Structure 1
Amino acid sequence: MEVVQVLHMNKGAGETSYAKNSKVQSKIISITKTVTEEAIIELLCKNLPESMGIADLGCSSGPNTLTVISEIIDIIYSKCSNLGCPTPELRICLNDLYSNDFNDVFGSLPAFYNKLKEEKGTDFGQCFITGVPGSFYGRLFPRKSMHFVHSSSSLHWLSQVPSGLDSKASTGINKGRIYISKTSPQSVLDSYMLQFQKDFSLFLKSRSNEIVPGGCMVLSFTGRKSMDPTSIESCHQWELLAQALMNMVSEGLVPEEKVDTFNAPYYGPCAEELELEVQKEGSFIMDRLEAFEIDWDGGVDMPNTINGTLSSGQRVAKTIRAVIESMLESHFGRDIMDDLFQRHADLVDKHLAKTRTKYTNLVIHLVRKG
C-alpha cells in the first residue's frame, strides 16, 4: 500500500464525507486554539515581519481547513491592532497529500476572501493562499520561508506501513490484527516504533530548513499517556475494527489473508518518545507539551434525518470511516465498506456501554533555535 497514493479523507459532501464527519477534529482544533494563540503572540512580540510565512500541514478539506486559517488570521490581526502596527502580508500555504480534495478548498476561497474583507476592512494586509501538495515527511517550502507552522490530527499518520508489515510481505506477521495489539509479536511493536522515529525525525529536519530562526510550530495529534504502545487508549479502536473484519472472515465475506496483510500506517506516540526525537534532531526547543482527552465521538450529537440521533457507535464509525475508508477500500475492495462499518458501529456501541474510552491527544509548541 502506497500511503501517499491512497490516504485521503473522504471527498465531497455526502453522508460518509469528511466534511460532514469531522466534528472530533474540529473539537481538537478548538481545544488547542489557546496554545496556537499564545505561540503566535509570542512570535509576533519577538519579531514582526513585513511578510509572514504560515503553513497548515495536513489541511484536508471541508469546514475545518479554513477555520484553522481564519483563527490564525484573527490572532495576527488582533495582536497587530493592539500593537498599533500594520498587519504583515500573509503567505498561507495549505498542504496535504496529492489526493486531497484541493478543488473543494479552492472553491471555498472566494467566499472566504469576501468575508475577510468585510470583517477586517481596508486596514488588513494582503493575504495570499496557495495549495502545496506533497508529503510533510520531506521538504515542502523554500529555506527560511516559514514563520509559523501548524498541524492538527495528521502526524499520527506514518509515511508508510512499517517495513515487513505491508501487503507485499509473503506472510502475515501480525495475524488477525491491523495495528499493534496485546497479542502482536514484539517485532511488530519494534517495526512501528522505528518507523515513527524515522518519520518524525525527518519531519523535524525538513521543517528546520524551512522555518526562520525563532519561528515556531504547533502540532497536535493522537498519542497516548502510557509508555506502553499496547495500552487500551492507544490501540483499542483498531482492535474493534480488526474484530469486525475477523467476524466477516468467519462468515466467508473476507479472505483471512487480506486481514493478515493489512496494517495501518499509524502510530500514536507518548510524550517521552516525542521529547526524545526533538532532542535527538536538535533544531527545536520544546516550549510546551500537553496531553488532553476527548471522547471517541467528540461528545457531540450528529443528527440523522431518517432515524433521529445516531448512537455513539454510529458516530464513531462514521468519523473513522471518513478518515480511513480510502486505505481500507484499496486493500479490501469497496463492496464490504457499508457492512464493515455497520459491524464496527455495533462493536463500538457495546464497548462504550461498558466504559467511556477516550482518545489521548498531544499538543506541542516547538521553537526553531536561532
Structure 2
Amino acid sequence: MESFLKCRAVEMAEGGIMALLIPGVPDFWDPQKESTVVSRVELLRSSLVDMAKMGRLSAATSGIFNLPYYFPTAEELRAILQKSNSFSIERMEILKSGTFLNVDGHVACLRAVHQNMLAHKFGAETIDETFDLLKKKFYASPVYADPSKDKTIMIVAILKHNNV
C-alpha cells in the first residue's frame, strides 16, 4: 500500500483527491460461523491444493503458487494511510458488504478475478474443474449457506494529496 501511495502521489496534482474502496475484515469474526473475503480466497487456495493432489495440476507448480492478498481491518489501513507523507485522510468509513451473494455469486466473483491468472499458470483446461470443485466446497460448508453470515466490510478512504 505504501508503494501504491508513493506512485499515485507522483501522478496526482497537488490538492487532488483520491478515493479508495478496499475490501477488509472486521476486527473480530468467527471463521467457524462466519465468512469474509479471506475465507473465500482460502477456499480457492484449498481447491488448488486438492486439484494438485488429484494430479490435475502440477504439484510443483501449485506448491509455489501464491495468491498474495492481504485484507486489512479498518484500523490497520488507517495506520498505513497515516504514515504517508503524500496524503492526508479526509474521510474514512466502513461499509458493510451487504452483497448477500449466494454460493454461485461467490464462485462467479472469484472466477472473474482469478480465471485468467489460473489459466495462464495451470492451463485453461483445468479452470472449469477447479471452479466446480470450489463450488462443491462452498455448498459443503454451512458457513456459506446463509449469505447474512458474510462479514466482509468495504473500507472507503478519501485521501487528499499533500503539497510535499
Normalized against structure 2, the TM-score is what?
Answer: 0.80
CA distance in 2, matches of 1:270, 1:244: 26
- Shift, 1:217, TM fit: 0.9
The aligned residue for residue 362 of structure 1 is: 155
Q: Distance in 2 between matches of 1:207 and 1:244?
A: 35
2:114 paired with 1:319: no
Distance 2:104 2:20 in 1: 28
2:90 matched to 1:287? yes
SS at match of 2:134: helix
- Offset from partner CA, 1:69-106 (integer Å, 9 cap, x none): xxxxxxxxxxxxxxxxxxxxxxxxxxxxxxxxxxxxxx
Structure of greater relative contact order (alpha carbons < 8 Å, 6+ residues apart): 2
Query: CA-to-partner distance for each residue in 1:246-276, whole Å, 9 max, x for gaps?
Result: 3323332223323211101322122233222
Decide whether the 8 Å contact of 1:245 with 1:340 is kept in 2. yes
Please tell me whether the aligned partners of residues 100 and 150 of structure 2 are also in contact (alpha carbons under 8 angstroms): no
1:259 is aligned to 2:62: yes
For the 8 Å contact 1:222–1:362, the answer to whether it is kept is yes
Q: Deviation at 1:293?
A: 2.4
Gaps of 5+ in 2: none
Is the alpha carbon distance of 1:244 and 1:322 closer, same or farther for their aligned partners in structure 2, counting shifts above 3 Å? same
Distance 2:19 2:161 in 1: 12
From 319, 323, 337, the equivalent of 2:127 is 337
**In structure 2, what is the Cα distance between the partners aligned to 1:313 and 1:223?**
20
C-alpha separation in 2, matches of 1:239 and 1:314? 17
Query: 1:125-144, aligned counterparts within 5 Å?
Result: none
Shift of 1:234: 5.0
Residue pair 1:314, 1:346 contacting (<8 A) in 2 also: no
Q: Deviations over 1:263-306 (max 9, x none)?
A: 013221222332222222212111111122225xx336xxxxxx
Q: Which has the higher helix share?
A: 2
Contact persistence 2:26–2:152 (CA under 8 A): no
Question: For the residues of structure 1 that align with 2:137 and 2:158, how far apart are their CA atoms?
Answer: 36
What is the match of residue 203 of structure 1?
4
Q: 2:130 aligns to what SS in structure 1?
A: helix
* Cα distance change of structure 1 residues 227 and 330 upon mapping to structure 2, 3 Å threshold: farther
Larger of the two Rg values belongs to structure: 1
TM-fit CA distance, 1:219: 0.7
Q: In 2 relative to 1, CA 242–335 (structure 1 residues): closer, same or farther, beyond 3 Å? A: same
**2 CA distance for matches of 1:258 and 1:209?**
37
Local SS of the residue matching 1:279 = helix
Structure 1, unmatched stretches of 5+, are: 1-199, 301-311
- Distance change (3 Å), C-alpha of 1:215 and 1:354: closer
- Aligned residues: percent identity? 29
Paired residues of 2:35 and 2:151 also in contact (CA < 8 A): no
**Distance in structure 2 (CA, Å) of the matches to 1:369 and 1:354:** 44
The residue number in structure 2 matching 1:328 is 118
CA-to-aligned-CA distance 1:127-185 (integer Å, 9 cap, x gap): xxxxxxxxxxxxxxxxxxxxxxxxxxxxxxxxxxxxxxxxxxxxxxxxxxxxxxxxxxx
Residue 270 (structure 1) aligned with residue 73 (structure 2): yes
Report the CA distance shift for 1:278/1:334 in structure 2 as closer, same or farther (over 3 A).
same
Q: Is the 8 A contact 1:288 1:364 kept in 2?
A: yes
TM-score where L is the length of structure 1: 0.38
Q: How is 1:1-370 mapped onto 2 (pairs within 5 angstroms)?
A: 200-226=1-27, 233=36, 235-294=38-97, 298-299=99-100, 312-351=102-141, 352-353=144-145, 356-370=149-163
Structure 1 residues 258 and 326, CA gap change in structure 2 (3 angstroms): same
